[in-house]
């Protein structure tokens, strides 16, 4: 089943805000084995000019999970998740994420195309702080392998 090209531009807002906490940042940093003190220690982060511990650069992967899951689970989009592999990831920051951020996220399908017998689905998740300011945009491209 081909990915439905009519879904290009479709948006999937996360059902709730995401609160960035010191604990979540610590767990992520430990999971990726990056124990930079600005991720783990508030005093170290403040000494570097941050308001609190900051999240590792790849942390926004988590922010896109809710919207991406909604998109992929949409049966009319036509993604066979058993054939999906991760193709690419990107992050574009306005400022670092830090503990205490409460973020609203919106995931949008930004590209659908066929390439070499596979299909490529690109999703973009925009995260904004409680004051409406852009924090980060996370892009993710999935490859749906052909048969």
**Structural domain contains residue 32:** no
**Structural domain contains residue 123:** yes
Overall residue count recorded for the chain in this entry? 147
pTM: 0.91
Helix, strand, coil percent values for the chain (each to nearest 5): 25, 35, 40
pLDDT (tens digit per residue) in 105-134: 999 999 999 999 999 999 999 999 999 999
**Structural domain contains residue 130:** yes
Query: Collapsing DSSP states into helix, strand and coil, what is residue 108?
Result: strand
pLDDT (tens digit per residue) in 6-42: 999 999 999 999 999 999 999 999 999 999 999 999 9
Residue 63's nearest CA partner among 139, 142, 143 is 139
**Structural domain contains residue 103:** yes
pLDDT (tens digit per residue) in 49-104: 999 999 999 999 999 888 899 998 999 999 988 899 999 999 999 999 999 999 99
Domain of residue 101 covers 5-20+57-144
Structural domain count, the chain: 1
**Structural domain contains residue 34:** no
**Structural domain contains residue 50:** no
Indicate which CATH number applies to the domain containing 140.
3.10.129.10
Q: How confident is the model at residue 147 (pLDDT cuts 50, 70, 90)?
A: confident
**Structural domain contains residue 115:** yes
**Structural domain contains residue 47:** no
Tokens standing for 80?
A: 């066979």
């Amino acid at each position: 089943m081909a990915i439905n090209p009519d879904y290009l531009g479709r948006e999937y807002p996360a059902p709730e805000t995401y609160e960035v906490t010191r604990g979540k940042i610590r767990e992520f940093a430990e999971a990726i084995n990056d124990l930079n003190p600005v991720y783990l220690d508030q005093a170290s982060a403040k000494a570097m000019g941050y308001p609190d511990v900051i999240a590792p650069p790849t942390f926004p992967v988590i922010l896109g999970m809710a919207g991406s899951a909604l998109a992929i689970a949409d049966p009319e989009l036509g993604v066979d998740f058993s054939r999906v592999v991760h193709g690419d990831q990107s992050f574009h920051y306005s400022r670092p994420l830090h503990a205490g951020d409460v973020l609203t996220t919106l995931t949008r399908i930004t590209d659908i195309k066929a390439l070499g017998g596979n299909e490529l689905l690109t999703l973009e998740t925009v995260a904004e702080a409680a004051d409406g300011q852009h924090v980060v945009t996370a892009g993710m491209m999935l490859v749906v392998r052909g048969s």
